[in-house]
Amino acid sequence: MLLYIHIPYCDSKCHYCSFNSFTDRSQSKVEYIKALQRQLHKELETLKPYSITSLFIGGGTPSTIEPSLYEPIFKLLNGYMQEDCEITIEANPNSASLDWLKGVKGLGMNRISFGVQSFNSAKLKSLNRSHTPQNAYKALEDAHKVGFENISLDIIYNVLGDTKALLKKDIDEAFRLPINHISAYELTIEEHTPFEKTPHMRVENLEMVYFVRNEIIQRGFNQYEVSNYGLYQSRHNLGYWQLQEYIGVGAGAVGFRANQRLYPHSNLDAYIAHPLYQSIEVLKDEDILLEKIFLGLRSKVGIAKKLLTPSMQTKADFLVEAKKLLFQNDTYYNINYLLSDEIALYLM
């Protein structure tokens, strides 16, 4: 079982971001963690001992919460996490101090993912990031110093002003740091964000997508999903793309169990008052199949042949002949993840 815990606090709001997070509610952190514990306790009652294979603490900004506040959560999880559980925490370079990093490492976290986005000061400003390139170098070096072996960073590209030289420099800088994973996302314009009013901030440039991919692969990382590369491939990410079941704890988290999506309150006060509430969306078999096709084609997971209808299998076999898909171990694998949407539409 995968477990996701959501931390809905940020120091400032990035212009592109629609994640559920608040910049003016830090006085509610203690109450929020208590509410998290109540929901987690209830969810754990449904699990067998040692059945959690991966825990991901994401946000928002988990590095806005001091390590001691995470302690009771780890106490609750005692006996539920497998011995080799992947435990990832997201962090922002401005708040991941050496002490914070030591603290979360001491609690047992074994993977850390930094939202770096770029090493270019002007680009960071245009995204309204609250850190400098120097903060990022220091935080990543410090994470290595305190003993994190699995370190990832996120970058964003196809932003107005991006050039090949700028992105090559970003990738060069990233590879100078002790990382074994990169997520490289094309900017998307989300509703109810400042960038919704300036949609030209996103640039449509397919050549740049291939450029970024090739620059990362040339430096030795394997692409295992359309935006994800690494020497180490995250078990949590792969679990999502295999559509494994997951528990989602926290305001605005999402769970997926027994073909249902489960949504706790996303409003902070409502969640703190009623952490056990979840609205339920029942997924139809067709929805699940569609999701498996999209996720499988976007990643190295692929699509098991037995999932497809006979007419889909005929089309998939044609794509194997045309060398667009690879067929191995009764599974169709995508050769070029960047074509996944087109291939999915053709199959359906």
- Dihedrals phi, psi of 340, to nearest 5 degrees: -60, -40
Cβ at position 138, least distance to ligand SAM in Å: 15
User: Tell me, what DSSP letter sits at residue 284?
Assistant: P
Alpha-carbon span 130 to 63, nearest angstrom: 13
Cβ at position 10, least distance to ligand SF4 in Å: 3
Q: Residue 110 in contact with residue 150, Cβ under 8 Å?
A: yes
Tokens for 189, please give them: 């314009």
Of the two residues 115 and 255, which places its CB atom closer to ligand SAM in the complex?
115
Q: Quick check: bond before 252 cis, omega within 30?
A: no
Cβ at position 63, least distance to ligand SAM in Å: 8
Q: Please report, for residues 9, 270, 344, the alpha-carbon distance to residue 225 in angstroms, rounded to integers and kept in the order given.
A: 28, 35, 15
- Which of ligand SAM, ligand SF4, none is residue 58 near (CB under 5 to 8 Å by kind)? ligand SAM
Q: Please report, for residues 72, 90, 337, the alpha-carbon distance to residue 30 in angstroms, rounded to integers and kept in the order given.
A: 11, 19, 42
Write out the binding residues for ligand SF4, residues 2-61 only, by CB under 6 A. Answer: 10, 13-14, 17, 19, 21, 59-61
Of the two residues 234 and 340, which places its CB atom closer to ligand SF4 in the complex?
234
- Which of ligand SAM, ligand SF4, none is residue 239 near (CB under 5 to 8 Å by kind)? none
Pattern of binders to ligand SF4 over 59-88, x per CB under 6 A?
A: xxx---------------------------
- Which of ligand SAM, ligand SF4, none is residue 188 near (CB under 5 to 8 Å by kind)? ligand SAM
Query: Does the protein bind ligand SAM through residue 229 (CB under 6 A)?
Result: no
Pattern of binders to ligand SAM over 74-103, x per CB under 6 A?
A: ----------------x-x-----------
Q: Residue 224 in contact with residue 216, Cβ under 8 Å?
A: no
Write out the binding residues for ligand SAM, residues 10-69 only, by CB under 6 A. Answer: 16-17, 19, 58-59, 61
Query: Does the protein bind ligand SAM through residue 142 (CB under 6 A)?
Result: no
Nearest to 4 by CA among 205, 236, 167: 236
Tokens for 165, please give them: 């030289």
